[in-house]
Amino acid sequence: MILFPAIDLKDGECVRLKLGDMEQATVYNTDPGAQARAFEEQGFEWLHVVDLNGAFAGESVNGAAVEAILKATKNPVQLGGGIRTLAHIEGWLDKGLARVILGTVAVRDPELVKEACRLFPGKIAVGIDAKGGKVAVEGWAEASSLGVIELAKKFEGAGVAAVIYTDIDRDGVLAGINWNSTIDLAEAVSIPVIASGGLASIADIVRMTMPDAQRLEGAISGRALYDGRIDPAEALAILSGELKPEPALFEEDRP
């Protein structure tokens, strides 16, 4: 089970948004490379990066910041936001990314995603961001008519490395991950699922260790790490089995 620390990039800085609103951004670090290094030193083994400006613009905007991150850490990095062509994908993989996350293009052009999986096996993830149960695109600015599971099933057997599922209604507000929807998705497809949006406390980390969550590849944490609500050493020890959490942290099975 992997805990992915998140670096969301806006105007070259590490920020967190509230409910996906670019006008509600909190800056946590002005040096993305230093933040990537800090996460590696804390013991994390992966890094999740999103080019927020790129998601709205439809092309990479924070390229310099992403390259600084790649130079600063030895950890594998997955990147999403504005990557919508095979040339963009190849360009970023050539720079050293471990995975490229395709979101809007997965809705607009699923055949491109399948072709990318064929050309770059193991390197393509699909980002599914949902609001009210429907998939959102263009940096969460537009809603589609597609359901989450309906979209994910389009990529069964295509070689997608992971589906990153974000509940926009919980993102950046520390409301807790939407475990019901996330686990329902994981049970509906064979593609590994990564939970995103709302991870709030050690209780969510403990929730990741429960039997019905074992289908997940992991979860992404942003604000809770930056705000100190989650201690990295404690979280990683719980996920590795080195630390047994307090019984009080085991809340009802599927909150």
Active-site residues: which are they?
8, 129
Q: Which residue has the tokens 């230093």?
A: 34
Nearest Cα to Cα of residue 8 among 73, 59, 69, 57:
69
CB neighbour class for 164 (10 Å; exposed up to 12, middle 13-18, buried from 19):
buried
**Structure-block tokens of residue 201:** 């406390």
Nearest Cα to Cα of residue 136 among 164, 168, 114, 184:
168
**Structure-block tokens of residue 92:** 């970023």
* Whole-angstrom distance, CA of residue 131 vs CA of residue 169: 6
DSSP 100: E
Nearest Cα to Cα of residue 226 among 11, 13, 80, 54:
13
Q: Which ranges of the chain does DSSP label H, i.e. alpha helix?
A: 32-41, 52-57, 63-72, 86-94, 104-108, 110-119, 148-153, 179-188, 202-208, 223-226, 232-240
C-alpha pair distances (Å), 236 with each of 25, 216, 232, 239: 27, 16, 6, 5
